[in-house]
Amino acid sequence: MTTPTHDSTHDSHDTHDTDRTRDVWGERTPHGRGTPWPTRVDLHLEDGVSEDQVDRWVSSACLLCSNGCGCDIAVKDGRMVGVRGRATDRVNHGRLGPKGLYGSTPWSHSPDRLTRPLVREGGDLVETDWDTAMGRIVARSKQLLEEQGPLSHGFYTSGQLFLEEYYTQAVIGKAGLGTPHMDGNTRLCTATAAAALKESFGADGQPGSYDDIEHCDALFLYGHNMAETQTVLWSRILDRTRGDDPPRVVCVDPRRTAVAAEAERTGGVHLAPRVGTNLALMNALTRELLEHDAWVDHAWVEAHTLGLDDLRAVVAPYTPKEAARICGVEAEDVRRAARIFGESEAVLSTVLQGFYQSHQATAASVAVNNLHLLRGMLGRPGCGLLQMNGQPTAQNNRETGADGDLTGFRNWDNPAHVQELADLWHVDPMTIPHWAPPTHAMQIFSYAEAGTIGLLWISATNPAVSLPESERVKRILAGDQCFVVVQDLFLTETARLADVVLPAAGWGEKTGTFTNVDRTVHLSEKAVDPPGEARSDLEIFLTYADAMGFTDLDGGPLVTWRTPEEAFEAWTEASRGRPCDYTGITYDLLRGPTGVQWPLGVERLYGDGVFPTDTDRCETYGHDLVTGGTVSEQEHRAQAPAGRAFLKGTAYSPPHEEPSEDYPFRLTTGRTVYHFHTRTKTKRSRPLEESAPHAWVELAAADADRLGVADGATVRLESPRGAIEVPVRVGEVTEGAVFVPFHYGDHPANELTMTVWDPVSKQPTFKTAACRVTRVHDGEGS
């Protein structure tokens, strides 16, 4: 199987007749516990194109969320004109959601694609050729290296490039330049997932499998509005909850989401803690579990974990009543939720932004891991844990180390790990910047603000909209103190402020792999040529590496690969023997009927109860969950973890910004089902954009009454940092909270949020800020 083309062999649901922006999860295919999820192929072709007119189908996977649904791209006359779910793929069994169906291809032939490089001339961006644009970057880069050394360079990347591109960027940054200033916008969405996994299990890597949905009898979704963020995964759950012997659902979310409704429908629980109080709730659930001795698998805990006594002491004060007081939930609901966790045979938990972007993010997410450890519920069918990712390729960013991680889930503080990479890349280990902790995104922007980072290279992301305090970020990007390079598909809000803009090829215009939340690797093949002079991100990085002349110890070129497949093979070597071992996975294998999980042949991690916590193997020695202070090698070794997982507990502390008389509401931000990230792609899809064209603020009915506003009225939302005016939707947030989606550059919710981040994961806290709401007028049109 070496051809990327697949013939149509299944009956497909052509979405021309069903509007999937309304019917988001599609038709139900219910089935009983332990039976396979039925196949249903979803298809969408652009107006006027029918299935028999398609010239070619090119195999890929959807790049619009972290679910990684396998699909084939329809090509007609050299254009991408639609997508069809792959019936044989283990992730989606043929399905696609509205974002994937309607958002995958229209952006690609949008007239405002970048087709030529741009450089700044007298204040304006003007078109130029590649040599000129790259020449400016290289000149600046060399000058800075000479004058100030590698710490003058920073890279801010994305959760949307391919593995091959990240790996190449990681090698350039870590072994070519030697800068610790590399991070991605993955910091905003998944850093806490990685941090929580590392703290508990010693290394990143999702223990669970999507197939656990078919086997579980209870499902816990923590701060994870899956019904909107990963619609196909939610379809998979609905097909269980609507079938025979359904699992009970427990939802932890301050909003009454579709997940919350399903929790109630299945006899589960919806816990709606006050924004910023997740950890108090988690501590109460943990305490309940420990109070009911029979729920804890003592033999397993004894053999495979460390830290039970300390955890018990930390959670002791958090009675259900205390949780009720702090979180504003019913004590009885806490007891019921704990009982469901304690008495079910097989629990699957998922965690997302409601925990990751909130106060005490890592500690609360670690607490979810603790619950599974206490019941020994890992590595068996139905017993799963998925610390979810927001973006489609975030996992690869972490694996390869294009962000702050060390390539191949290695440990920055372990000299032997650094030496392994130095040997692999054939460079001096001192080049690899392991002498300082890697710089996280917010710090990178602070250095760029001060000008001590003089060259900031931003790929495939739009920090002018997505970072907290967006006005400040725009000032930093626009200023003269730092030379900004942006490579992207469009002239985004960020690209407009750059000194050099490079036109990039997008999904379907280049080849590469990426890995979803349950470790499934997909190959996405090139279906069409990129527009104009646009180049793949891999080509761009290779061009830079060539022009800079990065060499190894023998004077040979540092980056020895040219094609995506060669880059993948180089990465496979870098991952050999590490927890994220890709060996055995090849492009040929990935051209088969389905994506493939790493490590090859391992559906679930930790079935044997052995974790990568050994001091010589682990990815981190761990942190103080309150301060982020690092545990030293000696301290780690003294605990002799030897493959046992850590039970780490932390006391709850109130959020940094509590509502006050002036700012009485708690602000929370989030996503909608129709858009992805800053809408760079999704706003170019008519069905998606028409479904959610504007920002809005959601208020609880009682609060709306009190303010005297109805649906559609315009209100002013003000925090100590900024203000926006947006229409009101009376919705399902809890009283005292307001919700704003974060996708909209023209009404940036992030102007309201404060710059504060989790001490361990360094993920910014978007979810807690205080604000006030005032009525502007009754209609829209602000």
Partner 1 sequence: MPHLATYVGLADHSEQTLADSFRAVAEGHAQVADVFHLCHTLAGWSDAHREALAPVVERYGEQTDVDEPERLHAAGLAQARDGEIGLLRDLQDLHVLASLVQTTWMVIAQGAQGLRDRELLDLAHACSAETARQITWLDTRLKVAAPQALIVAP
Residues engaged in binding partner 1 (CB under 8 A): 148-149, 151-152, 180, 435-437, 439, 442-443, 446-447, 450-453, 624, 626-630, 653, 656, 754-757, 759
Closer to partner 1 by Cβ: residue 198 or 256: 198
Closer to ligand SF4 by Cβ: residue 62 or 327: 62
Question: Site for ligand SF4 (CB under 6 A): which residue of 4, 94, 97, 342?
Answer: 97
Question: Is the CB of residue 768 less than 8 Å from the CB of residue 666?
Answer: yes
Closer to ligand SF4 by Cβ: residue 517 or 558: 517
Q: Is 708 exposed, middle or buried (0-12, 13-18, 19+ CB in 10 A)?
A: exposed
Question: Is the CB of residue 280 less than 8 Å from the CB of residue 359?
Answer: no
Minimum distance of ligand SF4 from residue 230's CB (angstroms): 5
Contact flag: residue 395 with ligand SF4 (CB under 6 A): no
CA distances from 443 to 180, 187, 722, 743, 767 (A): 11, 11, 21, 23, 20
Closer to ligand SF4 by Cβ: residue 206 or 734: 206
Question: Site for ligand SF4 (CB under 6 A): which residue of 29, 59, 60, 67?
Answer: 67
Minimum distance of ligand SF4 from residue 676's CB (angstroms): 7
Closer to partner 1 by Cβ: residue 446 or 572: 446
Torsion angle of the four alpha carbons 256, 257, 258, 259, in this order, in degrees rounded to the nearest 10: -90
DSSP string, 384-411: EEEE--SSTTHHHHHHHTSSSSBTTTB-
C-alpha triplet 366, 371, 374: angle, nearest 5°: 120
CA–CA dist 574, 582 (Å, integer): 9
Closer to ligand SF4 by Cβ: residue 100 or 154: 100
Contact flag: residue 683 with ligand SF4 (CB under 6 A): no
Minimum distance of ligand SF4 from residue 164's CB (angstroms): 20
Question: Site for ligand SF4 (CB under 6 A): which residue of 43, 58, 62, 182?
Answer: 62
Residue 646 binding target from ligand SF4, partner 1, none, CB below 5 to 8 Å by type: none
Question: Is the CB of residue 105 less than 8 Å from the CB of residue 84?
Answer: no
Total residues belonging to the chain: 782
Q: Which helix H or strand E contains 478, and what residues bound it?
A: helix 470-478
Stretch that binds ligand SF4, among 65-73, 253-261, 274-282, 477-485 (CB under 6 A): 65-73
DSSP string, 179-230: -S-EEETHHHHTHHHHHHHHHHHSS------TTHHHH-SEEEEES--HHHHS
Question: Is the CB of residue 213 less than 8 Å from the CB of residue 470?
Answer: no
CA–CA dist 519, 586 (Å, integer): 15
In terms of phi and psi (left: phi > 0; alpha: psi -120 to 50; beta: otherwise), the region of 480 is: alpha
Contact flag: residue 68 with ligand SF4 (CB under 6 A): yes
C-alpha triplet 319, 322, 324: angle, nearest 5°: 110
Question: Site for ligand SF4 (CB under 6 A): which residue of 160, 231, 411, 753?
Answer: 231
Closer to ligand SF4 by Cβ: residue 246 or 392: 392
What number of other Cβ atoms are within 10 A of residue 111's Cβ?
7
Contact flag: residue 595 with ligand SF4 (CB under 6 A): no
Minimum distance of ligand SF4 from residue 215's CB (angstroms): 21
Minimum distance of partner 1 from residue 552's CB (angstroms): 24
Contact flag: residue 232 with ligand SF4 (CB under 6 A): yes
Contact flag: residue 99 with ligand SF4 (CB under 6 A): yes
Residue 99 binding target from partner 1, ligand SF4, none, CB below 5 to 8 Å by type: ligand SF4
Closer to ligand SF4 by Cβ: residue 168 or 391: 391
Residue type, 313: A
Q: Verify cis geometry, omega within 30 degrees of 0, for the bond prior to 664.
A: no
What residues from 201 to 230 belong to the interface with ligand SF4 (CB under 6 A)?
A: 230
Closer to partner 1 by Cβ: residue 178 or 247: 178
List residues near ligand SF4 by CB under 6 A: 62, 64-65, 67-69, 92, 96-97, 99-100, 230-232
